[in-house]
Every structure is written in structure tokens, then in C-alpha cells.
Amino acid sequence: MKKLPAVETAKELMTEAMSWSVMKWLREKQKVRKAADEANAALDQLSETVQARWTEGAREAYAALVAQPAGERKGRSQPDPAQALDSDAKLIAKKVKEADDEAYRARQDAENTFDEAERQMSTSLAREGCRKAIHGWELHEKAIQKAEAVIRPHE
């Protein structure tokens, strides 16, 4: 996976921001939010671009997983909407979906931590938000790498 400038810039800013004072955070919080939003947008765009290059079977398997409510996984009496799809495509799509879900949860955790840091005016929470944001981007990059692996054999 190629390095995205917006993500690299945001990681550098977050790393620097971990040493900021409360006053610096108050002055720079909009810059941090903007950098985080740009990094998230760049990763989302790359993920969509990669998935657009998948085979039809892989896209259908992933779409079936996305459409499946969280409480209706295996073991329920309702039929699996992806049942007729190729088993390899289903397995690959499941691994990518799990990685995407993990990255999304990390992203939400970072955003919630930043929101709480702002409410409390807490630099320690803001620093934790920085660590969580970087971790979330790294997870998203790994999810994209898994998604890229789907297209490599077909290129």
C-alpha cells in the first residue's frame, strides 16, 4: 500500500501534539481535527478505490456481510444472504470486513476521546486521543492491505 500524504502528515502532527500544553491545544485543536478528517477521508477514498477493483464475487460477498445485521450471524435460523456466493470470496470478504470493523471502532474511540478531552479541557485525554487516532489509521491501513490482497492475484 502506498503511503498517503494526508495520513503521514496527520500522524506527524498527532505525535507532536502529544507534548502540547493546554494552551497550545486550545489554539491548535481545529488544526488537529482538520488533519484527522483529511487522513480519514484519504483512507476512506483509497479503501473504496481498492474495493472497486475486486472481482464481482468478492464485492457481492462483502456487500452481503455489510447488509447482514450484527445480531444475525451464524447460528441463527435465518438464511445467510451470501450462501450462494463462492466460499473463497466469502472468506476473503469476511477477513476484510473484520479488519474494516476493527479500524472503524478504533476511529470512533479516538473521536470520542477527543470529544471528551475537549469537554474536560484535558491534555492527558487529548494525548490519549492522539495515540488512538494513530492506532486507528494503522488499523485502516492494514484493512486496506487486506483489501488489496484480494485484487493482486487478478492483476
The radius of gyration of the chain's CA atoms, rounded to the nearest angstrom, is 18
User: Above 80 in pLDDT, residue 89?
Assistant: no
Alpha carbons 100 and 147: distance in angstroms, whole number? 9
Alpha carbons 135 and 11: distance in angstroms, whole number? 10
Taking the model in full, what pTM does it have? 0.84
User: Above 90 in pLDDT, residue 109?
Assistant: yes
Higher-confidence residue: 110 or 78?
Answer: 110
- 27-72: pLDDT as tens digits: 998 999 999 999 999 999 999 999 999 888 888 889 988 887 765 5
Residue 44 has a pLDDT of 96
- Do the beta carbons of residue 78 and residue 72 sit within 8 Å? yes
- Do the beta carbons of residue 62 and residue 98 sit within 8 Å? no
Residue 119's pLDDT band, with cuts at 50, 70 and 90, is very high
Alpha carbons 80 and 68: distance in angstroms, whole number? 8
Question: Could you tell me where the beta strands, DSSP code E, fall in 35-150?
Answer: none
Highest mean pLDDT among 16-25, 47-56, 87-96, 107-116: 107-116
Q: How many residues does the chain have?
A: 155
% of the chain surpassing 90 pLDDT: 63
